Amino acid sequence: MICAAVLTSAVFTSCSKKDDRTLYLYNWTYYTPEEVVKAFEKEFNCTVKLDSYSTCDEMYAKLRAGAKGYDIA
């Protein structure tokens, strides 16, 4: 009985953790219109964090330097 209570408690504790519904996007400057981002966020119930670059050299330099955390680059 105690084991069941402990396991149930563990399950509910892990399920109560809020899901991270954030998409991290690394894209060209001005390539992703704000209205597209807002529509995407609304349709998929998430937040989009957009980081941008203006040249390929800038993008490559950042990624080569070890930039992490992007879902799409």
Helix, strand or coil for residue 49? strand
Q: Which helix (H) or strand (E) holds 28?
A: strand 22-28
What is the reported pLDDT for 65? 94
Write the pLDDT tens digit of every residue in 60-72.
999 999 988 999 9
Write the pLDDT tens digit of every residue in 4-55.
333 333 333 333 346 789 999 999 999 999 999 999 999 999 999 999 999 9
